[in-house]
Amino acid sequence: MATGFFALLDDIAALMDDVAVMGKVATKKTAGILGDDLAVNAEKASGFMSSREIPVLWAITKGSFLNKLIILPIAFLLSAYLPWMITLILILGGVYLAYEGAEKIYEFFVPHEHPIHTEEKKAKTEEEILIQEKSKVKAAILTDFILSIEIVIIALGTVLEQPLLTRIMVVSFVAFIATIGVYGIVALIVRMDDIGYKFVKLSKNKKNFSFYLGTLLIKALPQIIRALGIIGTIALLLVAGGIFVHYVDFFHHISEDILSNIPAVVKEFIFGLIIGFITFLVVSLTKLILKKIKN
């Protein structure tokens, strides 16, 4: 009896070791998409009244947990009964990520004005502000749902050869850490300016350490969000390119035979960029044709 019990403990310890090792690999693989997730959510969680930032962020965080509770069981069922679907979803997700990265680059170099509606210029009542807030939260949760699918599928793609229990534990761990880590960091970022104002107030407008630190935090917030956007865009293309190189034979052969002397990170960026702009061109032309047909 005792021998069986200790053997069970050994099996559990071995399983946890496997989960720890594979969890590290899966987290590394999803680092790129997590960077974009962080940038997107930092942008979406900012712009609210100071008193509403944390409640709004908490509402988005709860929505993110719900998203993963929906996605995880479906992903595990697919990996158990239709594993080829995981690879297909992974490739389609790579195309979407490449498209999103290309679109951001296009909008950066070809900026366009967003029309300001007349009703946005008017002063809003508290009820109207809350309605707009709910709308923004729903949009943020929808974006999180798409990014969560990618995080789960990419993590799952790294452990497809492992037993089902290991897959469940590793991917659930990555999904949990992704939510806590991303929204925890976002909470710190969106409160930077408020912390800065408190430091400035504490200094009583005297130019001491507290004043300079507070001023630095206030000025740094928009720069950090902008930097995260750039890093997130690069990460999108790298993640997409990595998916194409590892899961599409055509790109894998080009990578190994023709571009063998180029560093892997450069190859992944190139593939992501090319596929992204091809997809962006196809989507843009399709939208233009549909618009003309409608008119």
Q: What is the DSSP string of 132-161?
A: HHHHHHHHHHHHHHHHHHHHHHHHHHTSTT
> Look-up: residue for tokens 């729903």?
138
Instruction: Write the DSSP symbol of residue 255.
Output: I
The answer to the question of residue 168 being in a domain is yes
Mean pLDDT within 103-121: 66
The answer to the question of residue 118 being in a domain is no
Query: Of 42-51, 85-94, 145-154, 174-183, which gets the smallest average pLDDT?
Result: 42-51
**Rounded mean pLDDT of the chain?**
77
With a cut of 50, say whether residue 32 has pLDDT above it.
yes
| Domain residue limits at 259 | 2-113+123-294
Using CA atoms, how far apart are residues 48 and 58, in angstroms rounded to an integer?
A: 13
Q: Minimal CA–CA distance to 150: which of 100, 93, 98, 71?
A: 93
pLDDT tens digit string along 199-235? 888 877 677 888 888 888 888 878 887 887 787 788 7
The answer to the question of residue 128 being in a domain is yes
How many CB atoms sit inside 10 A of residue 157's CB? 21
Using CA atoms, how far apart are residues 87 and 103, in angstroms rounded to an integer?
A: 24
**pLDDT at residue 112, rounded to an integer:** 62
The answer to the question of residue 285 being in a domain is yes
For the chain, the domain total comes to 1
| Between 178 and 104, residue with greater pLDDT | 104
CA quadruple 71, 248, 284, 237: dihedral positive or negative? Answer: positive
With a cut of 80, say whether residue 133 has pLDDT above it.
no
**pLDDT at residue 157, rounded to an integer:** 76
SS3 10: helix
Contact 26/158 with Cβ under 8 angstroms?
A: yes
Q: Minimal CA–CA distance to 37: which of 156, 184, 160, 157?
A: 184
The answer to the question of residue 61 being in a domain is yes
The answer to the question of residue 255 being in a domain is yes
Maximum mean pLDDT: which of 1-5, 52-56, 221-225, 243-247: 243-247
Instruction: Write the DSSP symbol of residue 263.
Output: -
The answer to the question of residue 273 being in a domain is yes
Maximum mean pLDDT: which of 10-14, 55-59, 227-231, 268-272: 268-272
The answer to the question of residue 158 being in a domain is yes
Mean pLDDT within 52-78: 86
The helix (run of H) or strand (run of E) holding residue 84 is helix 83-109
With a cut of 70, say whether residue 30 has pLDDT above it.
no
| Between 292 and 111, residue with greater pLDDT | 292
